[in-house]
Amino acid sequence: MICLDTNYLILGLVRGSAESARLLKWKQSGESLVTSATCWYEFLCGPISPLQMQTMRSLLDQILVFGEPQAAAAAQLFNAVGRKRTLRIDAMIAGTAQAAGAKLATNNQKDFLLFQLHGLQLA
């Protein structure tokens, strides 16, 4: 299972992008693609068209909720990396992926590498 960060949701719609190619490759290989409700919210804030929303939603097997297990995983990661306020949302995204046992696909490697030291797997 691969959990898509917001930048993958956006750039996955760009024809010829590396993200679009990876999404198609993962889908063709039978990989399950998901995203967190946090990333889906960011994506829907757009601007995007209804067709773009529909296209991306059709690629996703699931939008993962942010409930108690995800909140606990996010808080653990946030505290482990030094409680930097700028990483709060990233910790929510990472915690959701980690709680689902998914690898996170992101172009924001710099911030998420900190979480990788504490168990997050990157795709």
Q: 68 in helix, strand or coil?
A: helix
Give the residue among 27, 4, 33, 37 at the shortest CA–CA distance from 106: 4
Q: CATH classification of 2-116, choosing from 3.50.50.60, 3.40.50.1010, 3.20.20.70, 3.90.1410.10?
A: 3.40.50.1010
pLDDT for 60 equals 98
- Average pLDDT over the chain, rounded to whole? 96
pLDDT digits (tens, 9 = 90+) for 54-78: 999 999 999 999 999 999 999 999 9
Question: In this structure, which amino acid lies at residue 47?
Answer: P
Sole residue written with tokens 């990472």: 94
Q: Provide mean pLDDT across the span 6-10.
A: 97
Per residue in 27-53, is it b (16+ CB within 10 Å) or e — as a string? eeeeeebbbbbbbbebbeeeebeeebb
Say what the pTM is.
0.93
